[in-house]
Structure 1
């Protein structure tokens, strides 16, 4: 690491210098504490006696090489501030920590030989813009648990999880933060160990094996990363050297709404720390991407547009993303951002923030609110669903239905659907059909795929026993069918950020609360017709732009998915006569809360009229 680049906020490899690193004789320890009066280290290697560290080569860096220190040993720093107060800290660059409530760091042997070369070589440098991304978001500790309620370790989790992902048609997983954190209830979003995979589920080596196992089965792995704030526990980064080294010095900007400390992104040391952490997860564990949390809190002061843009934090995001793209051309960077700040996914060379995708929070909110609305009022909110396509091409959007939508009294996705128990299921099927037929990458939180009614609780596994009930079992089978359809049909993902690949066929039927649209790509066309009213529409007609020969791929009302329509009951036809100034029409029955998906088998193009000779 170049120390001057570290101070300037340009380092991406600070973890190679700071922290504990094995040597031939033992281990060398380095920690940055420029305002400390004194720094000591203690651990298993010293019988927990304090050993003084010295500033040697670089100012503010305390260093000590200890013979006999070995991988797996625990250690802490004792840092004396200018006021004489001694506080014990974990290592900011430590790569493993003991299980909470302990906070000692551990020496790690980073030796590892990856076996996923083929995956890494073929990973798409195009960021999957024209490939399907069906992401399963999960919390590692509460997806499934052992019979005694304990956690699976990383490898055990992979063995259980991968077959399920394959069955359900997910080709990516996104973990809630795996970096070390003191409180289970923070879900990993309040970190103390930014370089340390949480020991709740095992070792760094076991996490690397999990990623390898996923890659072997064609599944990408994304991790959540928190570049905006950190836990305020006194053994972490807060007042690290007796002064606010990582956070703002003023209370009005230092504390976040979550009871955490805000990073001061204008400091070079903080920038180097965070971007080195992001690089570490991509490099050391072969993660395929990073989802960055709470980006709105970096763009605006404390996330409030009224307080103005935090220019230095925006500059940090641009520089970090540009550096990560250079180091990892095929890695995917995602922003969780609820603002309308421009150019979030534009390249940094065009004054963009440089993210590859942005979570479409507006789509998520509008869609859920629509499905919560009683059918009698839906005609008045008709364009709440079509509005998403008015701005869709302004950024590169991902459609998220994440953990945040199924906690804190918000109700789960199935609960949000209007009405009583049984009427919620057809609406939820239509809801997901709309999501998967809409342009944009997909993300869904665990439990939603089998219509879990209980809000997510990080202490309990998902309610897998629901699958013994017919409606939940049928819903899961429907979801798997829909997911595989998305993966298998290029028209549903190829060119989805090209406006030429999408077109409304019916978006002016508010009285019927019915929509129709087509997706085109790779020489294929998919047509979707959706009725979100509580009425049965007989022989509903949709104008088709050309003479299509169709086949039905999926009907959310089929009996196999808990509906009332038998597959042999087609209840649709193509009328080869003009309708609404188009060449033909699709005439079909639409039960309440139903989506029907068709594929164009062939197109009979009209003969072009010849220009008469003069």
Structure 2
């Protein structure tokens, strides 16, 4: 290992040396590979001594010797093999001894246990070469992301001792949530079928790195190189990604480069000192009760860069969504405290290094600040992300749709404001897990009005979202207009699809998704000002908006009536044509509306188009002549 790269933070593959590595030798005339043991290496510069204990030595202690520059400890254990558990015993200089999981370990036990597990990372063979050759960042096409939490998408039934199926509430009360988790392998065919049926071409998994607390959803890690044991092994996760790729579906994973869990067996005071974290509490603790990484240290940069590269290299993930980037840009995420220059340089180096190694990967920033250049290339002074979550669009849009229709005239420009800044960055429009938890209400619940009125509002919101420039992200449950806030302990309320309002809403979402994937005008020129034109955006009292999406000769006109009024024979001018095809109308009967599905075109005279606009409706029109 190049120690200069390690200490300067330029190393992206420290996991090839650190951690537990299965050693194989050629055996016999066939020269087949046979496991002879495992090499263990850990970085603990301030430790008095380190031993490894595990199943291979009956949980005794095998001494590790200082190596390289004396800051690392290493040993070879003959007979150790993949699947066995181990821990490091760190003997601190203050006399204490603490058991730790391996910071670079490739597997861990299910919480609350914390032993690392030896994994043979060469066992699985991917079959996704075609996908890996042809994938891209989707900058010139559709990117429709389904965000999901593995453990609460679908769950297995759980039964009591008498064979009676427990209700979700009973599963939680009896602490049997883990029995309902599907494995990575089990969920693979289910997920592929669902994503194809629903019309998503990418899936984003909330963090799959190991974490001790279910309620953290994976955002407070202890195993940055360990796929969570909740759903299986490293090879099981590889199978899931491989299966997605073979079916033309990309996979993004949430990655957390800002903070880590406090648990004493993890990174916190790993060698008895603040090795990975800040030495002072004012910036050492995050608002989530976790420890903040000290990004100014080269070995910490190496750790985080290697972990990011590891998920892309070893598991073939197509991209990373990086959490809480505002805490990277500004000290503690507070603009008044100033830019954290060393952390900004770290994220630039991380993104540039990942792009050098994986040019077609997708890097997304969850950043709520107005810091300039988040999606600009590093070589031109930017942070190097491909996309930035547009939190401003999300807040403005949801606030608009919370407003009662007869009051929306005063809120009219909440939906026009985004186009004032939109070309400053490359954006993704997110309706994510953060918007459907902790008393925030689900997307459907947020809509103004009664139960019945929420559905046309929600359909209009999504039709607006998918016509607006920018890539799309939608959290699980949103597509069925779920009315219960997301809970990581129970699956989505799939049974609500038996109700007509929810069934017709899901039918609408499926058609909208597939139309978005099919029509190049809805995505091809997302980042080009020529791809969007206002046709009408000053009818505040009507609460009507008309705009078009364009790519070359392909055009779609979007007409939105977001008031509570139906307008008869509403006129607008568009070109010199006489006919437009109706690609979609949120008010069609099949979506639970009042307009006949057979109405598939509108007529005009020399560019003067007049037709009825149902209340709370959106139409996609394609000019014919």
- TM beyond 0.5: yes
Distance of 1:222 and 1:93 partners within structure 2:
21
**Residue of 103, 107, 116 corresponding to 2:118:** 107
**Residue of 194, 205, 221 corresponding to 1:175:** 205
State whether structure 2 residue 563 is matched by structure 1 residue 552: no
* Aligned residue number for residue 611 of structure 1: none
* Paired residues for 1:557-572 under 5 Å: 557-569=587-599, 572=602
SS of the residue corresponding to residue 246 of structure 1 reads coil
* Aligned residue number for residue 335 of structure 2: 305
Distance of 2:578 and 2:471 partners within structure 1:
27
* Aligned residue number for residue 580 of structure 1: none
561-570 vs 275-284, greater mean Cα deviation: 561-570
Q: How big is each residue's C-alpha offset from its partner over 1:135-175, in whole Å with a ceiling of 9 and x where there is no partner?
A: 00000000000112511100111111111110110000000
Distance of 1:234 and 1:168 partners within structure 2:
43
* Aligned residue number for residue 44 of structure 1: 55
Q: How big is each residue's C-alpha offset from its partner over 1:224-276, in whole Å with a ceiling of 9 and x where there is no partner?
A: 00000000000000011000000000000000000000000000000000000
**Residue of 21, 34, 46 corresponding to 2:45:** 34
Distance of 1:462 and 1:454 partners within structure 2:
9
* Aligned residue number for residue 174 of structure 2: none
* Aligned residue number for residue 392 of structure 1: 422
**Residue of 43, 65, 75 corresponding to 2:76:** 65
State whether structure 2 residue 133 is matched by structure 1 residue 121: yes
- The Cα of 1:601 is off from its aligned counterpart by 2.4
Q: How big is each residue's C-alpha offset from its partner over 1:78-105, in whole Å with a ceiling of 9 and x where there is no partner?
A: 1122211111100000000000000000
* Aligned residue number for residue 569 of structure 2: 539
**Residue of 534, 554, 558 corresponding to 1:528:** 558
Distance of 1:512 and 1:59 partners within structure 2:
74
- The Cα of 1:381 is off from its aligned counterpart by 0.9
- The Cα of 1:570 is off from its aligned counterpart by 6.1
Distance of 1:61 and 1:477 partners within structure 2:
57
**Residue of 225, 233, 254 corresponding to 1:224:** 254
TM-score normalised per structure 2 = 0.94
Runs of 4+ residues deviating >6 angstroms: none
CA RMSD of aligned residues (A): 1.0
Distance of 2:571 and 2:473 partners within structure 1:
32
Count of matched residue positions in the alignment of Structure 1 and Structure 2? 593
Contact 1:494 1:522 in 2 (8 A): no
Contact 1:571 1:589 in 2 (8 A): no
Q: How big is each residue's C-alpha offset from its partner over 1:314-356, in whole Å with a ceiling of 9 and x where there is no partner?
A: 0000011010000000001000000000100000011100000
SS of the residue corresponding to residue 263 of structure 2 reads coil
**Residue of 213, 234, 237 corresponding to 1:207:** 237
* Aligned residue number for residue 317 of structure 1: 347
* Aligned residue number for residue 89 of structure 1: 100
Q: How big is each residue's C-alpha offset from its partner over 1:334-392, in whole Å with a ceiling of 9 and x where there is no partner?
A: 00000000100000011100000000000000000000011222101100001011111
Q: How big is each residue's C-alpha offset from its partner over 1:514-549, in whole Å with a ceiling of 9 and x where there is no partner?
A: 101001114210001001100111111122134363
Q: How big is each residue's C-alpha offset from its partner over 1:565-594, in whole Å with a ceiling of 9 and x where there is no partner?
A: 112346943132xxxxxxx22212111100
Distance of 1:559 and 1:449 partners within structure 2:
18
State whether structure 2 residue 535 is matched by structure 1 residue 505: yes
CA 1:235/1:546 → structure 2, altered by over 3 Å: closer, same or farther? farther
TM-score normalised per structure 1 = 0.96
State whether structure 2 residue 209 is matched by structure 1 residue 186: no
State whether structure 2 residue 618 is matched by structure 1 residue 595: yes
Contact 1:549 1:600 in 2 (8 A): yes
**Residue of 377, 394, 400 corresponding to 1:347:** 377
SS of the residue corresponding to residue 23 of structure 1 reads strand
* Aligned residue number for residue 579 of structure 1: none
State whether structure 2 residue 147 is matched by structure 1 residue 137: yes
Q: How big is each residue's C-alpha offset from its partner over 1:41-77, in whole Å with a ceiling of 9 and x where there is no partner?
A: 1000110001211102232100111101000000001
* Aligned residue number for residue 608 of structure 1: none
Contact 2:580 2:601 in 1 (8 A): no
**Residue of 436, 440, 445 corresponding to 2:466:** 436
State whether structure 2 residue 385 is matched by structure 1 residue 375: no
Q: How big is each residue's C-alpha offset from its partner over 1:101-131, in whole Å with a ceiling of 9 and x where there is no partner?
A: 000000001112110000011112xx21111
Distance of 1:85 and 1:142 partners within structure 2:
40
Distance of 1:418 and 1:94 partners within structure 2:
49
SS of the residue corresponding to residue 76 of structure 1 reads strand
Distance of 2:41 and 2:367 partners within structure 1:
35
Q: How big is each residue's C-alpha offset from its partner over 1:497-530, in whole Å with a ceiling of 9 and x where there is no partner?
A: 1001110111010010010100111421000100
Distance of 2:356 and 2:448 partners within structure 1:
47
Contact 1:295 1:337 in 2 (8 A): yes
**Residue of 156, 164, 169 corresponding to 1:146:** 156
Distance of 2:338 and 2:449 partners within structure 1:
42
Contact 1:345 1:358 in 2 (8 A): yes
Contact 2:107 2:118 in 1 (8 A): yes
- For structure 2, which runs of at least 5 residues remain unmatched after alignment? 25-35, 159-178
State whether structure 2 residue 300 is matched by structure 1 residue 270: yes
